[in-house]
Structure 1
């Protein structure tokens, strides 16, 4: 009987953990796994070092430190090495972000990681992060959004809840929006979308556009709406340079 009870408890715990992993924000989950992996690896390094096995302990210590974001002697961390393989040898952009705004929302895309963060810029939830709300709450709010805000929200949901379109119920849920940008894009908006400073040259514009399209192009699982905004931003700034 004790064995049966233990088995049932183990199944329940495993199922609960799987549900938590499924609902978790991928960016937060990946960060948590790196921290746990770094701590465990450093503990293994300390254990093997205490036994005098320095040839094993030192490499383990370097790996654990890299997972936690610390690189001795200025060498690249594991995150940077992984980025070289993932990006085909292209250096990841450090600290560069793009901003896309609608009437209600602002989305911030990190060029290096490709992660999207969002916040409300107007309305009753102004100033609050989208990470504070779960999927049912965000979908229930979408009914009162304008078309551009719905498109931005869907782009965010595609990154945070990759399977939300399949799981969503109702006639209006789960469809890809085809919202058109309202009015002519200003140069200021275009610079923010491409993550550039005013006055950036044609080469910088082309490079930023290329980097973003690799992360946002629909063929790569990205957002149709955000890809269209990035294209519009590039065209806007190139017209400015041409004139």
Structure 2
């Protein structure tokens, strides 16, 4: 009985292939042969499995998947891929300023927490106001680095206008102390229930936005790295 079933499958396959061969171009024919061959091997493996011949069924099934290639393996090999949620924002806070980075657009916004312009949004400040506030932040290294990251995105050539030494000010400011979990989650734009895969994915996505090699900020890149390390150590 098993051989009759196999014979019918082979006959059907030959008839189908004959029809395809007449009508298909070489590229489509090759693709069709690969897909049909893989499907045939998997059907044959199923027949052997139903008759209890697993010693033949298992290798035939694996061979069928191999012939099908990724088109037949996507559903098995895709694995876990964290989905990027739209609207995510990273938040970094220092003594004098709080900054937010939109993951989708890369746009950076901020609000002044202390000083002459307390309560004002950085986007609302004029170039003169920004220069004055930047000079005020000299009393707090981390705040100044954060403001400089904003200026790098908003005002091309601000370093020359503000008479800043760009080479000195591109490095990372000294840490004000160990980063808390709450701060790390805010920097990466994640919630406390985020897993390792989501932490790593957020880190990669943000580094593409702010890495110094991409014209970003060394200070922000250091903060993002610290946030990832902090959360992964906890996990």
TM-score bin (small chain): 0.5 to 0.7
Change (3 A) 1:173 1:105: farther
Contact 1:99 1:109 in 2 (8 A): yes
Contact 1:164 1:174 in 2 (8 A): no
Q: Who is 1:65 aligned against? A: none
Q: Who is 1:154 aligned against? A: 148
In the alignment, which of 101, 115, 120 is matched to residue 128 of structure 1? 120
What is the rounded CA distance, in whole Å, between the counterparts of 1:173 and 1:135 in structure 2?
A: 21
Q: Who is 2:23 aligned against? A: none
SS at match of 1:143: helix
In the alignment, which of 103, 113, 118 is matched to residue 111 of structure 1? 103
Shift of 1:160: 0.6
Choose 1 or 2 for highest CA Rg.
2
Q: Who is 1:203 aligned against? A: 197
What is the rounded CA distance, in whole Å, between the counterparts of 1:158 and 1:186 in structure 2?
A: 27
SS at match of 2:114: coil
What is the rounded CA distance, in whole Å, between the counterparts of 1:113 and 1:130 in structure 2?
A: 18
SS at match of 2:136: coil
Equivalent pairs, count: 152
Could you report, residue by residue, the CA deviation over 1:142-174 in whole angstroms, capped at 9, with x for unpaired residues? 223210110000000001112212433266898
What is the rounded CA distance, in whole Å, between the counterparts of 2:171 and 2:130 in structure 1?
A: 16
RMSD of equivalent CA atoms = 2.3
Q: TM-score, normalized by length of structure 2?
A: 0.60
What is the rounded CA distance, in whole Å, between the counterparts of 1:202 and 1:120 in structure 2?
A: 33
SS at match of 2:90: strand
SS at match of 1:144: helix
Unaligned runs of 5+ in 1: 1-90
What is the rounded CA distance, in whole Å, between the counterparts of 1:100 and 1:230 in structure 2?
A: 9
Change (3 A) 1:110 1:170: closer
Q: Superposed, which structure 2 residues align to 1:170-209 within 5 Å?
A: 175-209=169-203
